[in-house]
Structure 1
Amino acid sequence: MTYPIVELRQYTLQPGRRDELIELFDREFVETQQDAGMAVLGQFRDLRDPDRFVWLRGFTDMPSRAAALARFYGGPVWAAHRDAANATMIDSDDVLLLRPLGDGFPLPPARGSELPRSRFLASLHFADAPFEKLPEPALPPLAAFTTAYEENTFPALPIRAGEHAFVWFARFDDQAALDAYVSGADPAATLLELAPTARSLLR
């Protein structure tokens, strides 16, 4: 399924508490967000920052995004675990609202239960105005996205305003393949080197 609205969320965490958040997230916040009407597409450890957690979630449109977020953040699961989750975080407001170019991510039919060997790369490009010509990805991307300019329909959760972003993702079979690519990557791009968690759908 293609999700026309995707959030790329980057959380800065309290030192040494990333695994604590991931254990809680993978156990409590995957199916419950899905039941509320959204899709948790991927959860990742940022390989460049031991205190950074990166994740993606998808929505069918902006009105359903507002309704789904209200159901989840007003529901019993978040109420039960929000204090524990928030205690691990320094900042959770680094959020890009994106639209896919093409079909979005090719998603597997089911989640795993063990840490995969695969690695992902997100290449982020920013401009002072909407792109007239998109940067050319250095390899065929798994999926590519540009800024969704819609008004935030759930202002309780901020998103980055005034951004003009182009983001593409690539998947690598293992760490060595990712390292080989990154050694010659575009220095003008912001790169996120990502390791999927055990329950990430993208894996």
Structure 2
Amino acid sequence: MSSLTLSTACGVVELRQYTLHPGRRDALIDLFDREFVETQEAVGIDLLGQFRDLDDADRFVWLRGFTDMAARGAALPAFYGGPVWAAHRNAANATMVDSDDVLLLRPAWPDAGLPAVAARVAQPAGVLLVRVLHLREAPDAELLTLCREALVVELKQAGALQQAWYASEPAANNFPRLPVREGEQVLVAMALFADAAATWPAEFDSQVQRWLARPTQALRLAPTTRSSLHA
């Protein structure tokens, strides 16, 4: 069971959701976990986790982090302009219908983010539950206080081993070759559970309802073999 301590090492995080051609997810995961983990880390990218969406067989979700936007601006050209991506990009892209569903995020408060990189194990377990809250405006002090003082406690009581909370990163995308969803205000809550059947606390959605611009996206994610984030 993971006992990781939260860290602010990654000041910027990408939540990347890919829609894939039917039946191609395992092919992408095999390629990704074999070729794109250490090679991204070698240029300063933190591979925080890769996941199968348990409710959509054609969705692959992953998280990567950077110290800050300047580090992102240096690391992404190094990887996507390098030999490994050049050798495998056609095979990777052939599995994808859409790879533009990307949220650029920052920790919602100090120490709210995921650790930079955790130990990988042979048989990762657990489930990462994610709520993407689509807000009318940037999260205000009242909402963040609710999260820090009440919702964090509720998730711990529900059995969450680890949590992370992110808000939209306001800086412009500094690697426009890869699009991100700009002009949106979100608050993203993540909770890692050992029990793959874990569910989100029932009261959560009603407690944040008044800040929402549209319905919340809920994800249930199972870590791949090479995922850093796992139970």
TM-score (norm 1): 0.91
Gaps of 5+ in 2: 1-6, 157-161, 207-214
Q: Cα offset for 1:88?
A: 0.2
Computed over aligned residues only, the root mean square deviation of the Cα atoms, in angstroms, reads 1.9
Deviations 1:64-90 (A, max 9, x none): 211100010000000000000000000
Q: 1:36 aligns with which of 33, 43, 62?
A: 43
- Cα distance in 2 for partners of 1:59, 1:15 equals 31
C-alpha spacing 1:107/1:162, structure 2 compared with 1 (3 Å)? closer
Q: Tell me, in whole angstroms, the C-alpha distance in 2 between the residues paired with 1:50 and 1:65.
A: 30
- Further displaced range: 85-94 or 63-72: 63-72
Counterpart of 2:131 in structure 1 is 123
Which residue in 1 is equivalent to 2:217? Answer: 190
| Structure 1 pair 107–76 and aligned structure 2 pair: CA distance change class (3 A) | closer
Q: Does 1:147 align with 2:163?
A: no
Percentage identity across paired residues of the two chains? 55
| Aligned partner of residue 32 in structure 1, secondary structure | helix
Question: Given the two structures, how large is their TM-score scaled by the length of structure 2?
Answer: 0.81
SS across alignment from 1:77? helix
- Which residue in the other structure is 1:25 paired with? 32
SS of structure 1 residue aligned to 2:205: coil
Tell me whether 1:160 sits opposite 2:181 in the alignment: yes
Matches within 5 A, 1:81-92: 81-92=88-99
Tell me the distance in 1 between the aligned counterparts of 2:193 and 2:184.
28
Identify if the C-alpha distance between structure 1 residues 152 and 166 changes in structure 2 by more than 3 Å, giving closer, same or farther.
same
Unaligned ranges ≥5, structure 1: none
What secondary structure is seen at the aligned counterpart in 2 of 1:142?
strand
Q: In 1, are the aligned partners of 2:28 and 2:95 still within 8 Å (CA)? A: yes
Q: Which residue of 2 aligns with 1:174?
A: 195
